[in-house]
């Protein structure tokens, strides 16, 4: 299923107020990505492009980590996220810009020391083409740092409904990244969240915007059958499970 970007924009915009409260895994993923970046950076970046900033979960962490940034550009498909980003970047007044639009279509006039994106690239239509674009946007000593979700992501939902993004596995992402970049560090993990019921997993996905696939509303019967099968398959002493499969890459542009 190819992501519908108009639906992505709609669902994430709707989830703006609840996103950071519900985005437990996204917080963990952002922190791990930054920790890996810390180990790879040779010097503090002065120009940063963040792709898929959402309400600023990663943005706030970047501003705190790199207070000497001279030019910070936060971009997102959802234009209504701008007030959230302005609040998160107040300490960078005059040095921070919010750029609304599709990263696959946006044009840039400068290069960056760091391009970073957390929990976003799985929505991209043509990732190899985006990598070519980002390669050209990096300074010679710049770094690309990104996290993306892999083939085991939300496997419970996908197994039952047959609906899901065309997630790639780790090896495929590594090969794709290495077309334009030399990978310095990489990793992949499984993160499991536990909920009180199958319906609670769906509510979690709605409140983080992650349900931005599929347009048809379920009937009460369909919802009941989903809940029954989910409970039968994925219930343990801890509750019902929902699996995330984050993958991480830190890379430098090839000459």
Q: Indicate the pTM of the whole model.
A: 0.93
Flag whether pLDDT at 84 surpasses 80: yes
Confidence tier at 15 by pLDDT (50, 70, 90) = confident
Give per-residue pLDDT as tens, 168-184.
999 999 999 999 999 99
Flag whether pLDDT at 64 surpasses 80: yes
Q: For position 1, what pLDDT does the model report?
A: 64
In the chain, the number of structural domains is: 1
Give per-residue pLDDT as tens, 182-207.
999 999 999 999 999 999 999 988 88
Q: Looking at residues 95-104, what average pLDDT do you find?
A: 97
- CATH number of the structural domain spanning residue 47: 3.40.50.150
In a domain, 223, yes or no: no
Contact 192, 243 (CB under 8 A): yes
In a domain, 218, yes or no: no
In a domain, 114, yes or no: yes
In a domain, 198, yes or no: no
Q: Name the percent of the chain lying above pLDDT 90.
A: 79
Confidence tier at 140 by pLDDT (50, 70, 90) = very high
**Cα distance between residue 145 and residue 183, in whole Å:** 10
In a domain, 228, yes or no: no
In a domain, 200, yes or no: no
CA angle 57, 62, 68 (to 5 degrees): 150
In a domain, 49, yes or no: yes
Q: Domain limits at 141? A: 5-151+164-191+243-253
Confidence tier at 211 by pLDDT (50, 70, 90) = low
Beta strands (DSSP E) in 59-137 are 71-76, 96-100, 112-117
In a domain, 229, yes or no: no
């Amino acid at each position: 299923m190819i992501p519908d970007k108009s639906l992505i924009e709609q669902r994430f915009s709707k989830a703006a107020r609840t996103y950071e409260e519900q985005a437990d895994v996204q917080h963990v993923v952002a922190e791990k990505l930054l920790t890996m970046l810390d180990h790879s950076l040779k010097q503090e970046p002065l120009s940063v492009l963040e792709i898929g900033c959402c309400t600023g979960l990663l943005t706030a962490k970047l501003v705190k980590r790199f207070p000497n940034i001279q030019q910070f550009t936060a971009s997102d498909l959802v234009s209504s996220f701008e007030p959230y980003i302005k609040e998160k970047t107040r300490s960078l007044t005059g040095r921070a810009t919010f750029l609304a639009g599709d990263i696959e279509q946006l044009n840039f006039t400068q290069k960056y020391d760091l391009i970073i994106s957390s929990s976003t690239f799985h929505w991209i239509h043509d990732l190899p083409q985006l990598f070519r674009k980002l390669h050209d946007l990096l300074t010679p000593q710049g770094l690309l740092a990104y996290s993306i979700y892999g083939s085991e992501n939300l496997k419970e939902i996908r197994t039952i409904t047959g609906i899901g993004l065309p997630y790639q596995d780790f090896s495929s992402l590594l090969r794709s990244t290495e077309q334009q970049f030399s990978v310095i560090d990489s990793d992949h993990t499984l993160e499991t969240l536990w909920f009180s019921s199958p319906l609670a997993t769906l509510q979690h996905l709605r409140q983080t915007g992650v349900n931005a696939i599929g347009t048809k509303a379920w009937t009460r019967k369909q919802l009941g059958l989903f809940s029954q099968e989910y409970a039968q398959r994925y219930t343990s002493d801890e509750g019902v499970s929902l699996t995330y499969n984050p993958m991480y890459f830190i890379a430098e542009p090839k000459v």
